[in-house]
Amino acid sequence: MNIGLVLSGGGARGAAHIGVIKALEEHGIFATHISGASAGAIVGALYAAGVHWSEILTFFKTIPLFHAKRFARKKPGFLNSENFYDDLKTYLPKDSFEDLKKPLFIPAANIIDGTSTIFSKGPLIKPIIASASFPGVFTPTEIDGNFYVDGGTLNNFPVEPLKNKCDKIIGVCVNPLKTVSIKDLRHSYSVIERAYKIKVAAESSNKFPDCDMVISPQELVKYSTFGMSNMDVIFNLGYTAAVKELQNHKDLFTS
């Protein structure tokens, strides 16, 4: 049985994806195809390369991919995305989609022409970095003369590449929409940010029917995109939510 795994973007909340993978493996479920955006691209690539979930969690907790330590100079972003290549190369030494143990699909948004590209062949690390390059925080990533930013900008829940390849699809969304009141929207930026989050959440949830099971821990609303101090808590939220959903879908993966 071909089992697809969709991993959404979500920054530090992407640690929940790792908890989901642990739960799936404990229940004897191993994805054969993976599609991930932004943080989901990082987790998905490492998982597709055969890196154990515990090592992926260590990567999230120790590699400064989301840490404000590597500032860009005279570039459109606070952090230079190119500086993270060597961190990923340690785990992905051959830097190739073809060297992965599972097919992997990574979306990134072309910041010039506004299109979304799905990467699945050739060099691997630059598409990962591109897909995780949160606009304005990380500099755009250049690939073959084109400039890309966060895959979640246009496709935060990239289920499309899996629809004709998998018998079952598991979706993991780590961007639940927080309940707010008008009093929470205190300035223009908060309104803009809220509108963007609504857009991303709606586009993702509209694709949930394409999945046979969706895991989306609502408790993740308590944690921010770049808050790195709660990795273990976020990991456990993903694990617990996955175990609960698996209990509700006991017969879904029986062949």
Residue numbers annotated as active site: 38, 150
Block residue for tokens 């998982």: 47
Torsion sign over Cα 39, 175, 52, 98: negative
What CA–CA distance (Å, rounded) separates 172 from 162? 14
Residue 146 is encoded by which pair of tokens? 């084109």
Please name the helix (run of DSSP H) or strand (run of DSSP E) that holds residue 61, with its range, or none.
Answer: helix 53-62
What is the chain's Cα-based Rg? 17
Phi, psi (deg, nearest 5) at residue 189: -65, -40
